Chain A
Amino acid sequence: MSRRARMLFALMLAPAMFLATFGKALADDAQRWAVNMPKGVTPVSNAIYDIHMIIFWICVVIAVGVFGVMFYSMYAHRKSKGAVAANFHENTTAEIVWTVIPAVLLIVMAIPATSALLQVYDASEAEMDVKVTGYQWKWQYEYLGQDVSFMSELATPESEIYNTAPKSQYYVQEVSEPLVIPANTKVRFLITAKDVIHSWWLPDLGVKKDAIPGLVNETWAYVNEPGIYRGACTELCGQGHAFMPVVVNVLEKEAYNSWLAEKKEAAAAVRELSKKTFTMDELMAQGEEAYNRSCASCHQVNGQGIAGVFPSMIGGAITTGDITSHIDIVVNGKAGTAMQAFGGQLSEVDIAAIVTYERNAWGNNTGDVVQPIDILKHKQGQ
């Protein structure tokens, strides 16, 4: 081999050597070096995996053929070796052959693809419905007909995101409260959004669907294996796009039923709390916690907002002015802006605490105290 050829060869080998070096790491930590899609735990995800692999291998075979001829020509017909160019061109037979073969291959691909697609779409005869609503930047899950609903938002603290604390195992893939569904049950998801478009994805369930404000899309899952599965929002939805993971906890049926019963009880207890009167300190403490969870992604932990996008909470006409309009904007939001209606997302206690907190934190010091009952009255007064 000439020096040039050896150099070329080495260069081409480099990726392979690279892989070989990291091969051990690959074996050690399969998830970190994952190169393929998960097979998943539903019939749909399996079907998708299968069709993915079929197409992949067809493409590999074509590639080997096509690149094979090309590399052969590059090697055998190079000028430096004294190759003299032939002068043939235009050959109708060849052109028909290479039109027909790909066309046939495409048909071969289209058949299993069609049946897989029909399966993806078959949401009929579901045993239960969950409505999924995307908000900037969290998910709401409502169990239709069960009177149970809750918000599911990122649980990873800012300190981990901004590298002041070590990252935990499920960094940006953990939520305040996961969706819970029963195994071996056909669950239909009705997906929509309140503000911008989001997309709800659980790779292991083979489920991804756009959540579009004003429209409801449906999809479904039938999970065989209980467990915790993690996914993500996949439609650009603003600055928190990377921070609204989807987590689902699949339980055996009995476990699911007792979870649901507990959930209903807890909801009743929270409703009860709305009638209690809290002290300023209690409200401030809970308010800080709830503010940081629900509001800080826009208005920032320091209350200063982001100039030109999210208003500051400090000394504003609303946050230090009329209490009613302050409660109103939190409960009902402001249509056509990113300021969403929190009335349906947060408990009365939380809203009261947040409003109290905003009116007294960061030097606002209005001294106002808002009780849950005020919020309840505001809601009913409409």
Chain B
Amino acid sequence: MSTESSYYVPEQSKLPVLAALGMGLMAYGAGSWVQGGSALVLLAGALVMVFTLYNWFSTVIHENMAGMNSAQLKRSYVWGMSWFIFSEVMFFACFFGALFYVRVLALPWLGGEGGHAGNDLLWEGFEPAWPLMTTPDMAVNGENAQFMGPEQHMSFPGWANLLGWLPLWNTIVLLSSSVTVHIAHTALKNSNRAKFNLWLGITVLLGAIFIVLQVEEYIHAYQHMGLTLESGIYGTTFFMLTGFHGAHVTMGTIMLLIMFLRGLKGHFSPDDQFGFEAASWYWHFVDVVWVGLFIFVYVLA
């Protein structure tokens, strides 16, 4: 409920239409690019978008520093960010749900279990398993199959090989980054700017390390494990889940990097630091998603 006696309604702004234009161009450009057209429109759209967002955020920051924002507006930002993160949760839920459905229901059915006995007529010899190394197509058509499974998978390799298992290191890196960002937050609240800068810097670094490790994992998968996006449903779910997560880590790292630079410029105060807080919530969210991934994509097989 409102407690203010007056409100700040921003003046007219050119930014929203520009952003819409940028999104429109990006959508159209992406549409033509994926079907083999040029990427020019997509790039143009992305440029418009970057330009607009840059200006948008600096406007907001300036308004805030000029003291134009009421506590109420800040609460609106908090709601806004929280619900945005909720929408991201649902986006990931969609892919986790797909993974669950495939593993628990679809594959056994394809293998003829659960009242789907007739499936032997189509996929004779197919054995459901996870990670799925032999697709139904391969079970029937062997080498001629269009959908080939992976040669190796990323799941838990046994205790003996634990230390050489990249996902474990990824987990360690990401989990500790959640701690460091929290330390930074506490430091900021206690007006300890040097400590804030240090720990936020470390967080950004950990984020970058995670991304590097992830890229490393992908390269390894493509070059040495025969594991690609096209390796049947295992490759599909593996890359889509980790890929979207990776994209979000990248986003989060960029957000934190910006907050780091702002921190260096002396932005934020012990009681007004919403930009940083929003980024750190996002970071925690990305972290939680990773834990889900680690359990359901890597460990439970």
Q: Identify the A interface with B (CB < 8 A).
A: 131, 190, 192, 214-218, 335-336
Contact = CB atoms under 8 A, between A and B. Distances in A.
Nearest to A190: B118
B121 A190 contact: yes
B116 A216 contact: yes
A216 B136 CA distance: 14
B146 A216 contact: no
A119 B123 CA distance: 28
A217 B116 CA distance: 7
Contacts of A214: 110, 122-123, 136
A102 to B, nearest CB: 31
Contacts of B116: 215-216
B207 to A, nearest CB: 39
Contacts of B121: 131, 190, 192, 216
Interface residues of B, number: 12
B146 A192 contact: no
A217 B122 contact: no
B126 to A, nearest CB: 11
B92 interface: no
Interface of B: 109-110, 115-119, 121-123, 136, 146
Nearest to A129: B118
Contacts of B119: 215-216
15 contacts: A131-B118, A131-B121, A190-B118, A190-B121, A192-B122, A215-B109, A215-B119, A216-B116, A216-B118, A216-B119, A216-B121, A218-B115, A218-B117, A335-B146, A336-B146
A135 B21 CA distance: 43
B119 to A, nearest CB: 5
Nearest to B141: A335
Q: Point out which of A190, A215, A216, A335 has the most chain B C-beta atoms below 10 A from its C-beta.
A: A216
Q: Point out which of B109, B117, B122, B123 has the most chain A C-beta atoms below 10 A from its C-beta.
A: B122
A297 B122 CA distance: 27
Nearest to A214: B122
Contact of A217 (B118, B136, B146): B118
Nearest to B118: A216
Given A214-B136, A215-B109, A216-B121, 4 more contacts: A131-B121, A215-B119, A216-B118, A217-B118
Contacts of B122: 192, 214-216
Q: Point out which of B110, B118, B146 has the most chain A C-beta atoms below 10 A from its C-beta.
A: B118
A69 B4 CA distance: 47
A338 to B, nearest CB: 15
A131 B117 CA distance: 13
Nearest to B109: A215
Contacts of A190: 118, 121
A131 B123 CA distance: 15
